[in-house]
């Protein structure tokens, strides 16, 4: 999760988030190089009186500054499209979980099980235990198996919500009357926090999401105890 004074992204937990971080660094380097070149040219123009009479009519210069931006855009677009297609892939999910947004809590249903569903409310500040995080802890965590493909079906029963977990690279809109889907896979166990990322009313800030990723054998024990 994020920590105070953090400047970068949260540590990646899924392959998709790792790809997004690499793409971010790739694009940021291109922006840095362009900005450095523009600042260098501006500084030269301000500090020297030397001019060239044929600069404004040079066909070679116009060709370069037309082709070069197109090449840079292609260098950004190709990795971006690759990640977009990767995010939309559904590779034989091992588990399906349906989440519904409400004002102002989430409800979850494990559709592969006969009767496994629950509501997830934020724990009020007055009821927090030592070490728990304010505005992020919930009474019922979403327990999922790690290193397995999980399909999340996201919808809403009232207004627009958005189910988002930054460290997994997930952000899916919950729209009334529409069922959106996304996939997640964690490469390591742990607790991963998220929040509703769509302004949905007065208690929008009090809709946390907590995913608890555990090895398969622990998930099976948990599901058996909940059923």
Give the per-residue pLDDT at 18.
Answer: 94
**Residue-wise pLDDT tens digits, 134-192:** 999 999 999 999 999 999 999 999 999 999 999 999 999 999 999 999 999 999 999 99
Q: Could you list the residue range(s) of the whole structural domain that residue 134 is in?
A: 95-226
Give the global pTM: 0.84
Indicate if the alpha-carbon torsion angle 56, 61, 62, 68 is positive or negative.
negative
Choose the final residue of a domain: 88, 108, 139: 88
Output the six-digit token pair for 7.
């400047």
Q: Do residues 123 and 215 share a domain?
A: yes
Domain closes at, from 39, 59, 88: 88
Of 35, 56, 88, the one marking the end of a domain is 88
Q: With a cut of 70, list the residues of the chain below it in pLDDT.
A: 50-57
| 115 within some domain | yes
Total number of domains constituting the chain: 2
Residue 8 is predicted with a pLDDT of: 86
Per-residue pLDDT at 217? 93
Q: What size, in residues, is the chain? A: 227
Domain annotation covers residue 2? no
Query: C-alpha 184: how far from its chain's center?
Result: 11
């Amino acid at each position: 999760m994020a920590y105070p004074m953090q400047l970068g992204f949260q540590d990646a937990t899924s392959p998709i988030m790792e790809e997004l971080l690499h793409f971010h660094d790739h694009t940021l380097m291109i922006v840095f190089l362009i900005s450095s070149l523009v600042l260098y040219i501006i500084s030269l123009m301000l500090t020297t009186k030397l001019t060239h009479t044929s600069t404004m009519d040079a066909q070679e210069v116009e060709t370069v500054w037309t082709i070069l931006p197109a090449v840079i855009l292609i260098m950004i677009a190709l990795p971006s499209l690759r990640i977009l297609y990767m995010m939309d892939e559904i590779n034989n999910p091992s588990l399906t979980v349906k989440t519904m947004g409400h004002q102002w809590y989430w409800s979850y249903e494990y559709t592969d099980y006969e009767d496994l569903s629950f509501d997830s409310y934020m724990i009020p500040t007055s009821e927090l235990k030592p070490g728990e995080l304010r505005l992020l802890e919930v009474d019922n965590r979403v327990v999922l198996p790690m290193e397995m493909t999980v399909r999340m079906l996201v919808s809403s029963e009232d207004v627009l919500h958005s189910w988002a977990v930054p460290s997994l690279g997930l952000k899916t809109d919950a729209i009334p009357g529409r069922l959106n889907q996304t996939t997640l896979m964690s490469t390591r166990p742990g607790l991963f926090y998220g929040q509703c990322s769509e302004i949905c009313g007065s208690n929008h800030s009090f809709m946390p999401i907590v995913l608890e990723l555990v090895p398969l054998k622990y998930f099976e024990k948990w599901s058996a105890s909940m059923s």
